[in-house]
Amino acid sequence: MTVSTSAHEAAVNAPGVSRESRVRSVFRVTCGNFLEMYDFTVYGYYAAAIASTFFPTGNEFASLMLALSVFGAGFLMRPIGALVLGAYIDHHGRRKGLILSLVLMAIGTACVAFVPGYASIGLIAPAIVLFGRLLQGFSAGVELGGVSVYLSEIATKGNRGFYCSWQSASQQVAVVFAASLGVLLNHLIPAADMNSWGWRIPFVVGCLIVPFLLYVRRSLRETDEFAARRHRPGMAEIARSMVQHSRLIVAGMGLVIMTTASFYLITAYTPTFGKVVLKLSSLDSLLVTVCVGISNFIWLPVAGAVSDRIGRRPVLLVCTVVAILTAYPAMQWMVAQPSFGRLLIVELWLSLLYAWYNGAMIVALTELMPVEVRTTGFSMAYSLATMVGGFTPAIATWLIHTTGDKASPGAWMAFAALCGVVATLVLYRSPQSRERYKAA
């Protein structure tokens, strides 16, 4: 038996549930989301240095592809983490599962931060880095879903999109923080030292903030909606439900591909793209990434709030169609005459498309999933999509190397947007389904 919608609304709108307590709950739950995205982002920022430290092959392209492939390998573990940890959260509660995911993420970060390089311990070094990335991927498989579901269950009536948007907004804080730290380090540490050992500093910083984040998340309350639920499915029941709703999960995966491909293109890949492909300075590329993170942070809550008013479907369709039409031409314009200004303009444009789409998409995905297995279903769809979109830095690098077209990453984003269009039309194919998935 599940809690009714009216019961949920009564709980979250109760007089004793103050606005201040909801703000605190949003902060507590999204703090782990910050660490997860911070770790993934700094790996992308310093991929070239990581490549030379752990994957020296004598060929710059081959080393970079190995480093980016290990970056992508973390996403291969996400579906497993979604199923195992998602089932744990759906059975034992949102709070316990989110604490566990944070601990696992911290261990993975430490593996990358402190392991000696290939020159010191040989193949053991890249093996430990790969293990750390796989552990981070396993943890991240449920982090986004757990946070999004928690926010949807504490949201006030008519504001679910706005609340859920803070899951992604917290990631943008991580992007800005990581890029700003990179800018500072570029001022303080010579480039040769950054490539040799300075790139480890951001990972060490990530480890140092773990105790604070763990303290904050331990004070998280269980959601009223989950606490009121009498039936809490076990692993076997959840697994059967995943098979039963496989079509819904695949469609949800298509919905998320646009988010993951565009996000990793404009954040994790930007420093490498600006430095290696456009031949701009590391400082220029990191400054652009800071601006992208700020742009995302501003637009995500706006988009979530707008989708609460006009529905998810119009926002999703407009953003994906515009991305199909403009992503590649914008990249062509940028690479024709590479400069800080053109990189900034194009990245901010792609940021606008990503943020408006994602602001509506996250809440739409929580509304699509059956309440009994909401965390697992959301996490499975999201994790399967990141197995595609998470390889965006590697795919973009391969496309440029193979085709010789520096604008080809724009074609990859356009393809991801096409997946979003198809998924949106499938999921909202009838008036009944559109009504069902409208904001509560």
Tell the residue number behind the tokens 């804080």, with chain if given: 173
Could you give the count of Cα atoms lying within 13 Å of 392 in the half-sphere of its Cβ?
31
Q: What is the pLDDT of residues 126-157, one digit of tens each?
A: 999 999 989 888 887 777 777 887 888 888 88
The predicted structure's pLDDT at residue 417: 97
Average confidence score pLDDT of the chain = 84
Q: What is the pLDDT of residues 65-93, one digit of tens each?
A: 899 888 888 888 888 888 888 777 777 76
CA–chain centroid gap for 144, Å, is: 7
Provide CB contacts within 8 A for 377, sequence distance 6+.
86, 241, 242, 245, 248, 249, 252, 368, 369, 370
- Residue 345, phi then psi, degrees to nearest 5: -60, -45
H and E: helices and strands count for the chain? 23, 0
In the numeric block, which tokens belong to residue 22? 């909801």
The predicted structure's pLDDT at residue 231: 60
Whether the predicted pLDDT of 2 surpasses 70:
no
The predicted structure's pLDDT at residue 374: 75
**Which of 14-23, 223-232, 371-380 has the weakest average pLDDT?**
14-23
Q: What is the pLDDT of residues 88-119, one digit of tens each?
A: 777 776 677 777 878 888 888 888 889 999 99
Mean pLDDT of 391-398: 90
* DSSP 3-state of 115: coil
User: Cα(first)–Cα(last) distance of the chain, in Å?
Assistant: 20
Distance CA 326, CA 417 (A): 11
Whether the predicted pLDDT of 436 surpasses 60:
no
Mean pLDDT of 208-235: 71
Whether the predicted pLDDT of 163 surpasses 70:
yes
The predicted structure's pLDDT at residue 223: 61
CA–chain centroid gap for 314, Å, is: 23
What phi-psi label fits residue 93: left (phi over 0), alpha (psi between -120 and 50 degrees) or beta? left
Q: Which domains does the chain have, with CATH numbers?
A: 5-436 (1.20.1250.20)
The predicted structure's pLDDT at residue 301: 94
The predicted structure's pLDDT at residue 431: 52
Report pTM: 0.78
Whether the predicted pLDDT of 249 surpasses 60:
yes
Mean pLDDT of 254-269: 92
Nearest to 343 by CA among 300, 282, 393: 282
- Residue 16, phi then psi, degrees to nearest 5: -75, -15
Whether the predicted pLDDT of 272 surpasses 70:
yes
Provide CB contacts within 8 A for 80, sequence distance 6+.
138, 141
Whether the predicted pLDDT of 5 surpasses 50:
no
Contact 413/323 with Cβ under 8 angstroms? yes
Distance CA 418, CA 77 (A): 25
The predicted structure's pLDDT at residue 16: 42
Largest CA distance in the chain: 65
DSSP state for residue 198 in the 8-state scheme? I
Q: What is the pLDDT of residues 327-380, one digit of tens each?
A: 999 999 999 999 999 999 999 999 999 999 999 999 998 888 877 777 778 888
The predicted structure's pLDDT at residue 306: 95
Give residue 225's pLDDT band: very low, low, confident or very high (50, 70, 90).
Answer: low
Could you give the count of Cα atoms lying within 13 Å of 268 in the half-sphere of its Cβ?
29
Q: What is the pLDDT of residues 299-318, one digit of tens each?
A: 999 999 999 999 999 999 99
The predicted structure's pLDDT at residue 302: 95
Which tops the pLDDT comparison, 415 or 374? 415
Distance CA 151, CA 26 (A): 7
Nearest to 156 by CA among 22, 313, 25, 309: 22
Which tops the pLDDT comparison, 48 or 332? 332
Contact 92/381 with Cβ under 8 angstroms? no
Distance CA 317, CA 329 (A): 19
Tell the residue number behind the tokens 């993420």, with chain if given: 105
b/e per residue, 283-299, with b = 16+ CB within 10 A?
Answer: bbbbbbbbbbbbbbbeb
